[in-house]
Amino acid sequence: MATIISGRELSKTKKANMTLQVEKLENKYGRRPKLSVILVGDDPGSVSYVTGKEKACHEIGIINQTIRLPEKTSQEELLNVINDLNNDPLVDGILIQLPLPKQINQIFVINSINPTKDVDGFHPENVASLYLKQPGIVPCTPKGIIEVLDSVNIPIEGKRAVVIGRSNIVGLPVAKLLCDRNATITIAHSKTKNLKEVCLNADIIIAAVGKAKFITADMVSEGTVVIDVGVNRDPETGKLCGDVDFVNVEPKASYITKVPGGIGPMTISCLMENTIECFLKHMEVK
């Protein structure tokens, strides 16, 4: 039987601490941090993610502004909105809900965000800071994954960590953070051969694939720590599920996270933390 690490509980504690912090910041600086979220179109998944972010801001006392733009918004129109937010001294964080409609170049848009307001940590300047071990904004999901491991004192140094997935949002940055903590990293992807053997050698598995129940019990050795980042629909039940076949993997794992209630809530609380960090940097500059 594995210990289930509850990202939901952990993020509740984080949010309670941030609520107090935001109150103190308002007393000290005369205003609260502000996060502006841009949602282009009405993709149901994106709408639900944005609602989650609005709710978290509300809970903590961070000022939230959601700018809803129509699906057919041009790249120029979006860049103008970002430019206004970049120049607004009362906006601390800017988040563009991804994915964007086809007519808009995602890279161009991310690059246009002022890096000091880039709460997602996707701007090349923040990405470079992460890889060069310099101060910068760390992407929310990878940051949340490390906090989940640390919350139960899982040793990382010297451990064999297998990260399945190599996206810029999850796989690569979490591999870098684990490497910085002296784990020995394997990054697996769709062209990896013998993934089962690779996983069987792992002390820690981070699954960020985007395929329902992809990690099965025969891929996991006894005592492995299994972190499930995936957010998928179970093809049989239609319910939300992760990349890990939880029911069958859980008895073999030492620690495991669940979907929902694992990395998802941690991503949101780390986003709130990044917004406060951006606010503090803006206040220091003044």
- Catalytic annotation, residues: 53, 97, 120
Query: Using the rule CB under 6 A, is 188 a contact of ligand NAP?
Result: yes
Cβ pair 86, 113 in contact under 8 A? yes
Long-range Cβ pairs for the range 23-26 (8 Å, 24+) = 23/61, 25/276, 25/279, 25/280, 26/61
Residue 228 to residue 250: CA distance in whole angstroms: 11
Question: Closest CB to ligand NAP among 72 and 233?
Answer: 233
Which of 126, 267, 269, 274 is close enough to bind ligand NAP by CB under 6 A? 267
Question: Closest CB to ligand NAP among 64 and 267?
Answer: 267
Question: Closest CB to ligand NAP among 15 and 281?
Answer: 15
Residue 228 to residue 189: CA distance in whole angstroms: 15
Query: CB of residue 141 vs ligand NAP: minimum separation in angstroms?
Result: 4
Stretch that binds ligand NAP, among 33-41, 119-127, 208-216, 249-257 (CB under 6 A): 208-216
Residue 261 to residue 266: CA distance in whole angstroms: 9
Query: Using the rule CB under 6 A, is 200 a contact of ligand NAP?
Result: no
Query: Using the rule CB under 6 A, is 169 a contact of ligand NAP?
Result: yes
**For residue 228, which of 207, 249, 246 has the smallest C-alpha distance?**
207
Which of 22, 110, 183, 231 is close enough to bind ligand NAP by CB under 6 A? 231
SS3 40: strand
Which residues on adjacent β-strands are paired with residue 164?
Answer: 188, 207
Query: CB of residue 278 vs ligand NAP: minimum separation in angstroms?
Result: 19
Taking CB under 6 A as the criterion, which residues in 68-97 touch ligand NAP? none
**Looking at residue 244, what DSSP letter applies?**
B
Residues that bind ligand NAP (CB under 6 A): 141, 164-167, 169-171, 188-192, 195, 208-211, 229-232, 263-264, 267
